[in-house]
Amino acid sequence: MTICAVVAAYNEAAHVADVVTGASRHVSRVLVVDDGSQDETAQRARDAGAVVLRHESNRGKGEALRTGFAEVLAQPFSHVLLIDGDLQHDPGEIPKLVAKAESGAGDFVIGEREFARDAMPAGRYYTNVVGSWILSRLIGAQIGDSQSGFRLIRTDLLRQVRLTGRGYEIETEMLIKLVRAGATLDRVPVSRLEYRSSRSHIRPFRDTFRTCMLALAYCYFPNRV
């Protein structure tokens, strides 16, 4: 396996170097897409050893990931690893996803967090639980953490789908379109998310409602989105 990690980052100067350093121990290359940050995200990622691509303005997570995918798919990597730039996932757990893929258990492996109602904001908890339940039924595969940004995907399958999402809905779009393209989905448990003092870029109710509506479109009108 040859793996390139893609990190979509927006104003993550406080954490991005730790993500890059940690991920570099387990993958061939780390690519950070700085999505118009107004801080030192790009420089700190570069100093930590990442290849950095930069958007001059903030376009959204979906556009940042698509920029990263275009770079990765132009090269002979077998897998792309997605990990958030805010250190909400432990890079030391990357081998869990890799081991699952190496065993042949999944073309698309999701690192799923344990959800505890008392350990996270109510809005984030309920929107993820409801969104995961809806998505599981739409694609016919069990998902417990549809909003997890910690994922490992075979690049040959990623080349078969056209992604259009501009924001966080791209994570749902990937699930639906890759499963429909024949990807085997599997999951591994990872450490529970710790909510840090920095403000989340996700707007739970608005983003979840929008994602659910788009999920229906991805399922029933695939040629239009």
3-state secondary structure 68-89: HHHHHHCCCCCEEEECCCCCCC
Instruction: Report pLDDT digits (tens) over 166-224.
Output: 888 888 888 888 988 888 889 999 986 555 544 555 555 666 666 666 666 666 666 65
The residue with greater pLDDT, 142 or 225, is: 142
Domain 3-220 grouped into CATH 3.90.550.10: yes
Residues 94-103: contacts with CB within 8 Å, 24+ apart?
A: 94/5, 94/22, 94/23, 94/26, 94/27, 95/26, 96/188, 96/189, 96/190, 97/150, 97/151, 97/152, 97/188, 98/1, 98/3, 98/26, 98/152, 100/152, 100/186, 100/188, 101/1, 101/152, 101/154, 102/1
Write out the two tokens for 222. 């695939």
Q: Tell me what pLDDT residue 57 has.
A: 96
pLDDT tens by residue, 48-99: 999 999 999 999 999 999 999 999 999 999 999 999 999 989 999 999 999 9
| Domain residue ranges in the chain | 3-220
Mean predicted lDDT score pLDDT of the chain: 84
CA neighbours within 13 Å on the CB side: how many for 218?
27
Q: What is the pLDDT of residue 197?
A: 43
